[in-house]
Structure 1
Amino acid sequence: MKNLLAALVSQLACEGKVECLERDENFARVIVTTPHGIIVERDLHATQLHHAVLLKAVADEIKEEIQKRTLRLYGDISEC
């Protein structure tokens, strides 16, 4: 699991601070905090990261969530 999480962290590093909290050898929580203060968390099982395609899909999903929240944040600010 450590190697899988390290690969995920490397894919998400450009998004901001990435933390991985391992619960056991098969479960972990990934927390990404962007410079804008947006926080995205995911609870992951080792099977979700087992293959490179799955790992990339998880990374892309987290990046997409960050993008949506960033757009929502700036949209809300511009409406004030």
Structure 2
Amino acid sequence: MILCLGATAAQAFLGPGFRINLSRGQIFETPWAKAWMATFHPSALLRMPDERARAQARIHFEEDLRRAADTLRTLG
């Protein structure tokens, strides 16, 4: 599984049209791996000035990591 941390890494795979806020956490099939997903870059979470937005983004980030781990388990 490929897990891209941040929009820049994700856009390197899927092109400049990829938007982290719209597609983060989704599992995609790719020619490079059985599964591919993007989520926030950890430093982006730390730089968010709004505390509420930062807390919400962290929740999404943790959910995405759990989903990636679950996907890896099923891919075996």
The TM-score by the shorter chain falls in which range? 0.3 to 0.5
Greater RCO, CA 8 A, separation 6+: 2
TM-score normalised by the chain length of structure 1: 0.41
TM-score, structure 2 normalization: 0.42
